[in-house]
Amino acid sequence: MTIMVMLSEDSNFRKGNNNEFQLSTIAQDMSMLCVKEARDDNLRSLIARKKLHLVLDLDHTLLHTVTLNELTPSDRECLRHRSRRNWLKEGKLFMIKDNFLVKPRPNVHTFLKEASTMFDLSVFTLGTKGYATKAVEILDPNGLYISPSNVFSVEDCKRPMIKGLDVMNLNERVSLIVDDIKRVWVDHPKNVIEIEPYLFFEVKSNSKRTNMKHAGLQMGGDESEKYGELARVLRELKKIHIAFFDNTEASQVGYENRDVRDVVEDVRNNFRLLK
C-alpha cells in the first residue's frame, strides 16, 4: 500500500503549531491504515490456506517454570529420588540460565504439531523476551511450528500486563487464544479458550495454587496425555476449525465475512465443550 501526502510550501507551514498537529494527525492516520492493511492481508492469507490464527500463553498453559529458589523442600526431595535424577538428561525437565526449571505440559508436542495444521501459531507471555525465546526453543526445538517473529512478551505490551491482538497485527475475526488467565485479554474475551492451569511443582510463592490437582511431582504422577487439558482443548479447536470452514452457508457468502467468535459460541451451544 502506497500513501502520498502533498505538503504546502507556504511559510506558515514552518511556523504554526497547528500545522505540526496536522502532520502528527496525518502520521497517525497513515500508521492506522498500514496496520489495517497488515491485518487484512493476514486475514486473506489465512483464509486462502484454510487456516486460523492461534495465540498461545506459555506459563501454566504449555509448561510450568519455577526458579530454583521457589522449589519447596518437599519438591527438592522428590527430585533427588533416583527415579528422577536423570530427568534433565532424559529431556523430561529443562534448565534456562541455570536458574529456571522448566517442565513441559504432557502432550504439548502433539498439540503443537496438530494445531499447526489448522492454525498459524504465536506465543504471547507476560514473561521477558529472553525467557520466551528459550521456552519456545524447548517446546519447538526445530522451529517447525512457532516462528521467532511470532513470539511476543511483556516488552511488547502496550498496557502494563495486558495482552492484545493489536500488538501482533492480527484480525480478531480469525484469531483464537488459549490461556489459563482470561482477564489479561481485556479487549478480546470472546476469542479466549480458557485452559486449566498446569502446575507440576509446588511453589512457595504461589500458595493459592499449591493444592490444585495438577501439582503432580509430589503425587508421583502427571496429567494424562490422552485425557489431559491440552488434549481437550485440541479437540475443541478441531471442532471450531471444522465449523468455520466446512459451513455451507459460509462458503456461499465468503469466509472473509465469518467471525470465529460466533463459531466459538455455536460450538459452545451445540457441543457444550467449551468453558
21 sits in which H/E element: helix 17-48
Is residue 239 within 8 A of residue 233, CB to CB? The reply is no
Assign residue 198 a region: left if phi > 0, alpha if psi is -120 to 50, beta otherwise? beta
**What's the pLDDT score for residue 215?**
58
pLDDT digits (tens, 9 = 90+) for 193-214: 999 999 999 866 554 444 444 5
Q: Which CATH number fits domain 52-271: 3.40.190.10, 3.40.50.170, 3.40.50.1000, 3.40.920.10?
A: 3.40.50.1000
Percent of the chain exceeding pLDDT 70 equals 76
pTM: 0.82
Q: How confident is the model at residue 22 (pLDDT cuts 50, 70, 90)?
A: low
Q: How many CA atoms lie within 13 A of 162 on its CB side?
A: 10
| Residues 238-256 pLDDT 10s | 999 999 998 655 554 567 7
The pLDDT, as a whole number, for residue 32 is 58
DSSP state string for 33-70: HHHHHHHHHHHHHHHHTT-EEEEE--BTTTEEEEEGGG
Q: Write down the mean pLDDT value for the chain.
A: 83
The pLDDT assigned to 3 comes to 41
| CA distances in angstroms from 122 to 25, 52, 115, 275, listed in the order given | 32, 11, 11, 22
167 CB burial (10 A radius; 0-12, 13-18, 19+): middle
Q: What pLDDT does 81 receive?
A: 81
Render pLDDT for 28-77 as a digit per residue (tens, 0 to 9): 555 556 667 778 888 889 999 999 999 999 999 999 999 998 888 888 88
pLDDT for the residue 251: 53
For residue 12, what pLDDT band results from cuts at 50, 70 and 90? very low
pLDDT at 144 over 50: yes
Is the separation of the CB atoms in 198 and 63 below 8 Å? yes
pLDDT at residue 37 in the model: 77
Q: Which residues contact 30 (CB under 8 A, 6 or more apart)?
A: 3, 5
Contact 189, 261 (CB under 8 A): no
CA torsion angle 173 175 176 178 (round to 10): -150
**Which of 38-42, 70-74, 111-115, 151-155 shows the lowest mean pLDDT across its residues?**
38-42
Give the model confidence (pLDDT) of 88-105 as tens digits: 888 999 999 889 999 999
Which H or E run includes 268? helix 260-271
